[in-house]
Every structure is written in C-alpha cells, then in structure tokens.
Amino acid sequence: MGNVRVEEEIAADAGKVWDLMSDFGGVKSWNSGIETCEVEGEGVGMVRTLGMGGISIQERLEKLDADNKTYSYAIIGGPIPATGYLAKVVVSDAGAGRTKIVWTSEFEPNGATEEDLVKLFEGIYQGGIKAVEKAVG
C-alpha cells in the first residue's frame, strides 16, 4: 500500500481556501491544469470527470465535512496505474492569516512502482496547493 502526505501553509484565509477547495465540481476555476470538468450528481457521491493533457480521470466525492473542513475522494476511472486510490484534504486555520492544507492519499500500485506514484501524486498535490494560493491571493 502506497501513502502520500503533503502538508503546506499558504498565506490565505482558511475560509476562502475551504470555499474554493470544497467546491468539488469547481476545480477548473482555480486549477489551470484542468482543461475540462464535467459533473454528474450533487454532494457526496457526485462524480467529476477531469480532462487534462488528452486524458480523462473520474473522481467520486466520498465524504464532505464542512464543520471540520475536510473532504475525501476516490479515483474511479482513468489511466492511473493504481487501484484503491483514496485521497483526503484537510484545511485548517494556521493563524496570522495563514492556512494549513494537508493532502494525503493511499493506493495500491498497479502497473507502476510505488516510488513513481508517490512522486506523481506529491507533484499533483503541491501544484494544486500552489494553484489555490494563487487563486485566493
């Protein structure tokens, strides 16, 4: 089982960061790496299909807890060489106008090494956090 954890602080209000990141179907509005985002359903259980770089990835919202500013999602389709992928995002107030974002995941490698997948997902999470900071900055 592979695990990834990226934890970063950004100069932004936690409420604004949460509003942006928790809009599961609105990821294209702040992440320029996403070319298209189509949504089916609403709330927990909704599925978004992300188009980027000529591929499509389907992700399902598994949990959304606004009180604790956390959500989780699973990859349910697309050319990702892993199975059982489940990610969790936690947004918290770090004080002094800063926000801490913790983005974690677990998965089973399937067609790629765990090391390669860890690097891939770390890069995605770090890029996503930078995009959020830019969008709310």
In this prediction, residue 113 carries a pLDDT of 97
The answer to whether the beta carbons of residues 47 and 24 sit under 8 Å apart is no
Task: List Cα–Cα distances, 52 to 44, 62, 70, 94, in angstroms.
Answer: 23, 22, 25, 32
Average pLDDT over residues 55-82: 97
Cα–Cα distance between 39 and 48 in angstroms, integer?
Answer: 4
Cα–Cα distance between 74 and 107 in angstroms, integer?
Answer: 10
Average pLDDT over residues 105-115: 97
Cα–Cα distance between 26 and 125 in angstroms, integer?
Answer: 16
User: Does residue 68 sit in helix, strand or coil?
Assistant: coil
Cα–Cα distance between 38 and 77 in angstroms, integer?
Answer: 14
Superfamily of domain 2-136: START domain (3.30.530.20)
pTM of the model: 0.95
The answer to whether the beta carbons of residues 55 and 77 sit under 8 Å apart is no
pLDDT greater than 90 at residue 137: no
